[in-house]
Each structure stands twice: as C-alpha cells, then as structure tokens.
C-alpha cells in the first residue's frame, strides 16, 4: 500500500476527540457530493413512484391508520380495539397531522376526491421521506466523508425496503423519517448542542413509536458527555413537556379522557406481552427480510458492526442505534417486517461505511471495479424485487380503484363484502360515501374491526385478546358486491364465489398464487425466468348473478 493510501485509510478510521471538529479523509474533500437540494430532488422522484405504485403490505396500515383517519375526515370508518377509549393505544395527533397534510397535498396535486387525498398523502409522505434522507445523507458526508455519503445515497435510493417503507402510513415509517432527521442534525453539528436532533427524537418517541427511544440513547449520552448533564436534560424536559401537552390535549378531544397512547402501548406490549397474540416468528424471519431488501449490501452491513467495535470515536457511535435495535427486535417473539423500518437507513449507512473501508485498502483500479460491480448487482437486484412485489401483489389496489369508479355511478347505499381477503382492504378512501365494507365469515377466527359510532364512545363486543367477535359478520345475502381471491382449493369454512353460479365476476386482476410458485421467482422478478415459474389467480369483484345484465 502506498503512503498516500495508508494515510487515507488511517483518516477514514480516525475519530475526533471530545472538543474537535469532525474530520473527513483528505481524499474525500476533493470528491463531489450533491447538495441538499439536488439530493432531495433526486430522491423525490423515486419516492413519487413509490407513492403511486407501492402496495399496502400490512393490514395495520388500513385498519389502524387509514380507517380512523377516514373517520376523522368523513365521519365513518372501521374501528379496531386499539382505538377504544378503554385501551387508547393509538394517537389522534398522529392522525390529525396526516389528515391536514393529506387534504392539502391531495387537493393541490390530484383533486378533492377521497382517492386524491389517499394518493396525495402518500406523495407527501414520500417527499417527507426524501427530505429526511437528504438531510441524513448530508450528515453522513459531514461525519464520514463524501465517499461514504455518496454510497449511502445510492443505497437509500435503490433499496427495495425503503421503497416500501417510504410511503407507508405507519408509525414505523414516521419514526424512520424522524430518526433520519435526528441523526442528520446530530452528525452535521459537532460543535454545539443540536436542539433539532433532540426535538425530532422526542416527537418520534411520544407521537410515533415509544420503543425507538432506545435508538435515541446514543445521541443523549453523546450530548451529556460533550455538553454536561444540565443543558441536555433541561432542554429535553422542556421539549418533552411541550410535545406531551399537545399529545394529551389532542387525544382528550377525541377520547374524552386524559390518555397518553405511548405509555399505554408500552404497558400492553411489554408488561402484558400482548403482541404475542398476533403470532410469533423465528429469528430467520428477519434474516430473510433483510436479505430480500438489502441483497448484496447485507453482508457489508454485517461487516460494519465489528469494524465499529474496533474503531473508537463518533463514527462507531453513530452506528450504535442499528446494533441496539437489531438486538431488541431479534429477541422479541412477535416479529413483523415493519418493525425493521426504523433501521433501514442505518443498514444503508453501515454497508456504505464498510464498502468505503474496503475500497481504502484495495488498489485504486480494483477498488473502482469492485464498487461498480457491487452497485450494478445491488441496483438490478433491488429493482427486480420492487417489480416483483408491485406486479404480483398489486391487484387489491387496482380492484378497489375500479370499485371506486364503478360505484360512483350509483347513489344508492351499497354493501361491499370481504371474507378471507379482509386483510387486503385498503380503506374506505377507495369507496364512495354511500358504500360500506362488511365482513362475511371465513376461516379467520381472530377479532375483526367494527364501525365507529364516535371516537369517544366505548364500543360493544370489543376485547384486547384477539378473540373472535361474531357480531362483526353479516349475511352473505345482504352483500351487493364481494371481493375475493380465487384459490384452487377453497376452505370448507368459506364460500367459493368462483364456483358458485349465484355470483358472477364483474372485474378481476391477476394476483400471485404463492404456494404454487417457485420461491426465487416470486422473490425477484427475472424476465423470461419468472414467467414460467409463477402461477397467478384472479383477485375478483363479484356481484349477485341476478343483478347482471
């Protein structure tokens, strides 16, 4: 290794002392790094695509956020047990802020319809994510250097997990934005206490998802070490008091009770272990998820953690939230993909730092070739993943968009029913005001949502044990339309509309039949290869045959 490259490698691993301004490698100072505006513009285009074509991967998004928001905006919607005043696990402040943003964005960008508000809010979420990513990236440039910053930017932009998380109306996405902002402010400001980093962290914990407080601990400890105990603690108390006051005041208006959902959700999930009622998964569940979303970048991200342990200083400190969160999430029996959203940007940073560290010890030509091959594989594989998910599982949004247009033609009251496909209903934003969703009994035996009366009334037949409530079901004969996924061997506990002459198909879109398809082909869409190894069925809107012309 030449003396110059040894110096670069040494600078890459060096870290500032308590009172130093953070340094970047000398070679990095000559590298071009896009500014905040250029970065945001680039990322906004990618996130706009997500807003328009991204699927709803989690039924919690529809029933715990879109449906209560529909209640707030239009006076009707479906209510889960978490919104019962008895339990009060969800924040109305979170809904109100998103409702205002959705109304404004939808009206400006698409129009005044409910679908316009749905896609308007999605677009606004995508732009909010793009700005957070841009600020996070600029912080990486300040703390790690332009090379690591540019690698991080590319990993963020083309990551299939970020594509999904960026426009999801979920607290896990919301806190992902805020934690990126907090980390960006933290990494960008090395000489003074970063109040914006503190504010965004507190909002993430109180208004978003309280568990991410553990990811804010490294910043809090760093602030105490560098600025003493008094200033960070006093500032934190003031900010916390303001945010909690707004949160309690808003929730009091809707619940008619003094509640703090952040406390209630911790008590339910941690003290009573209630989350395990909704299924448990082995550790391999998260390993597979991370591989699908990060492919060739995952081994590099894993390599960054031992590098961080061997390197003293701020750079290793910035990666601590990643290790802490992964340790906690892997230890929890109940696992869901969205639980990993907050650390997706950190995985990108970790992989970028490890890649930069490897490049510094390789000959220049070999290093450049390795980087080119790495990003070619990463971008292609991530794109194939996005195409796979959006084309194989995009039918529900298209089917309900058809229903939205089709039902606008008739002002009479309409009942749209679902059975086993209840969890893929995107929300009443896809149905006109005279249409309502209803449930017919299927093989599912958990608790389904009920209709809101008011946000503060205690609903009847509601429990927090995920026990089936038979009051949720309606008679199939009362349904004007049924949305169902056709399967070759339907369960004996539910009707098969495709084989029932009393029901006729009105509209259908192809939907992947996962159990009959090859795993690799359905995980990554490969032209010419996947087509012969995937099996599709119909996602269909049915109407009573007597109603057909």
Average pLDDT taken over every residue of the chain: 90
Burial 464-494 (b: 16+ CB within 10 A, else e): beeeebeebbeebeebbbbbbbbbeebeeeb
Q: For residue 3, is it within any domain?
A: no
Asked whether the beta carbons of 119 and 51 are under 8 A apart, the reply is yes
Asked whether the beta carbons of 356 and 144 are under 8 A apart, the reply is yes
* Bridge partners of residue 509, in order along the sequence: 539
Interval 365-421: pLDDT, tens: 899 999 999 999 999 999 999 999 999 999 999 999 999 999 988 778 999 999 999
Q: For residue 250, is it within any domain?
A: no
Q: For residue 496, what pLDDT band results from cuts at 50, 70 and 90? A: confident
Sign of CA dihedral 402, 405, 406, 407: positive
CA distances from 465 to 45, 59, 209, 276, 482 (A): 43, 18, 21, 10, 28
Q: Of the ranges 213-217, 304-308, 504-508, which one carries the lowest mean pLDDT score?
A: 304-308
Q: For residue 222, is it within any domain?
A: no
Q: Is the pLDDT of residue 19 over 50?
A: no
Mean pLDDT score, 438-467: 94
Q: For residue 508, is it within any domain?
A: yes
For residue 242, the model assigns a pLDDT of 96
Q: For residue 361, what pLDDT band results from cuts at 50, 70 and 90? A: confident
Q: Of the ranges 112-121, 246-255, 265-274, 476-485, which one carries the lowest mean pLDDT score?
A: 265-274
Q: For residue 148, is it within any domain?
A: no
Q: Could you give the number of structural domains in the chain?
A: 1
Residue 381, helix vs strand vs coil: helix
Mean pLDDT score, 161-166: 98
String of DSSP letters for 163-185: HHHTT--SHHHHHHHHHHHHHHH
Q: Is the pLDDT of residue 193 over 90?
A: no
Q: Does the global pTM surpass 0.95?
A: no
More reliable by pLDDT, 448 or 501: 448
Q: For residue 207, is it within any domain?
A: no
Mean pLDDT score, 44-58: 96
Sign of CA dihedral 99, 105, 109, 112: positive
Q: Is the pLDDT of residue 217 over 80?
A: yes
Burial 170-183 (b: 16+ CB within 10 A, else e): bbbbbbbbbbbbbb
Parent domain of 414? 397-544
Q: For residue 145, is it within any domain?
A: no
Mean pLDDT score, 15-33: 52
For residue 340, the model assigns a pLDDT of 96
Q: For residue 59, is it within any domain?
A: no
For residue 360, the model assigns a pLDDT of 86
d(CA 239, CA 201): 10
Q: For residue 175, what pLDDT band results from cuts at 50, 70 and 90? A: very high
For residue 547, the model assigns a pLDDT of 56
Q: Could you give the residue ranges of the DSSP H alpha helices within 256-362?
A: 261-266, 284-294, 297-310, 314-318, 320-331, 344-361
Name residue, tokens 């513009």. Answer: 41
Interval 290-339: pLDDT, tens: 999 999 999 999 998 788 777 766 688 899 999 999 999 998 888 999 99
Cα 480 to the chain's mean position, in Å? 34
For residue 278, the model assigns a pLDDT of 75
Mean pLDDT score, 187-195: 78
In this prediction, what percent of the chain has a pLDDT beyond 70? 92
Burial 80-118 (b: 16+ CB within 10 A, else e): bbbbbbebbbbbbbbbbebbebbbebbeeeeeebbbbbb
Q: Is the pLDDT of residue 428 over 90?
A: yes
More reliable by pLDDT, 500 or 509: 509
Interval 239-284: pLDDT, tens: 999 999 999 999 999 999 999 999 999 888 776 666 667 778 899 9
For residue 106, the model assigns a pLDDT of 94
């Amino acid at each position: 290794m030449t003396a110059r490259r040894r110096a670069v490698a040494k600078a890459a691993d060096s870290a500032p002392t308590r009172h130093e301004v953070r340094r970047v490698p000398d070679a990095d100072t000559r590298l071009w790094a896009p500014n905040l505006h250029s970065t945001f513009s680039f990322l906004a285009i990618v996130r706009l695509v997500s807003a328009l074509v991204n699927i709803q991967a989690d039924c919690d998004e529809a029933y715990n956020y879109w449906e209560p928001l529909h209640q707030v905006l239009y006076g009707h919607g479906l209510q889960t047990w978490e919104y019962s005043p008895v339990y009060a696990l969800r924040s109305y402040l979170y809904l109100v802020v998103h409702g205002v943003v959705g109304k404004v964005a939808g009206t400006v960008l698409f129009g005044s319809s409910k679908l316009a508000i749905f896609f308007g809010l999605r677009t606004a979420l995508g732009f909010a994510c793009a700005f957070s990513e841009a600020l996070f990236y600029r912080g990486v440039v300040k703390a790690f250097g332009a090379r690591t910053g540019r690698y991080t930017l590319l990993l963020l932009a083309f990551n299939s997990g970020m594509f999904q998380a960026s426009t999801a109306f979920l607290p896990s996405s919301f806190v992902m934005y805020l934690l990126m902002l907090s980390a960006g402010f933290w990494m960008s400001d090395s000489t003074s206490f970063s109040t914006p980093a503190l504010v965004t962290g507190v909002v993430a914990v109180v208004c978003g998802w309280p568990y991410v407080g553990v990811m804010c601990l490294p910043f809090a400890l760093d602030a105490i070490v560098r600025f003493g105990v008094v200033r960070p603690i006093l500032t934190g108390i003031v900010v916390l008091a303001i945010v909690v006051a707004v949160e309690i005041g808003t929730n009091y208006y809707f619940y008619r009770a003094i509640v703090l959902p952040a406390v209630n959700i911790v008590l339910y999930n941690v003290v009573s272990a209630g989350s395990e009622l909704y299924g448990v998964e082995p550790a391999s569940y998260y390993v597979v998820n991370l591989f699908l979303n990060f492919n060739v970048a995952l081994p590099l991200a894993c390599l960054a953690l031992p590098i961080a342990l061997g390197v003293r200083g701020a750079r290793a400190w910035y990666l601590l939230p990643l290790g802490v969160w992964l340790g906690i999430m892997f230890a929890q029996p109940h696992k869901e993909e969205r639980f990993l959203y907050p650390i997706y940007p950190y995985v990108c940073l970790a992989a970028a730092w490890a890649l930069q560290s490897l490049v510094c010890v390789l000959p220049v030509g070999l290093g450049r070739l390795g980087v080119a091959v790495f990003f070619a594989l990463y971008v292609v594989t991530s794109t194939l993943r996005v195409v796979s998910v959006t084309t194989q599982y995009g039918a529900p949004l298209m089917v309900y968009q058809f229903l939205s247009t089709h039902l606008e033609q008739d002002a009479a009251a309409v009942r749209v029913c679902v059975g086993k496909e209840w969890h893929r209903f995107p929300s009443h934003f896809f149905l006109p005001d005279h249409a309502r969703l209803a449930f017919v009994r299927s093989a599912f035996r958990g608790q389904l949502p009920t209709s809101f009366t008011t946000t503060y009334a205690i609903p009847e037949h509601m429990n927090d044990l995920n026990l089936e409530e038979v009051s949720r079901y309606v008679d199939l004969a009362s349904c004007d339309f049924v949305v169902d996924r056709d399967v070759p061997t339907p369960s004996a506990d539910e009707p098969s509309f495709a084989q029932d002459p009393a029901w006729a198909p009105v509209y259908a879109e192809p939907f992947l039949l996962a159990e009959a398809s090859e795993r690799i082909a359905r995980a990554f869409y490969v032209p010419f290869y996947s087509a012969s190894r995937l099996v599709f069925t119909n996602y269909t809107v049915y109407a009573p045959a007597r109603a057909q012309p």
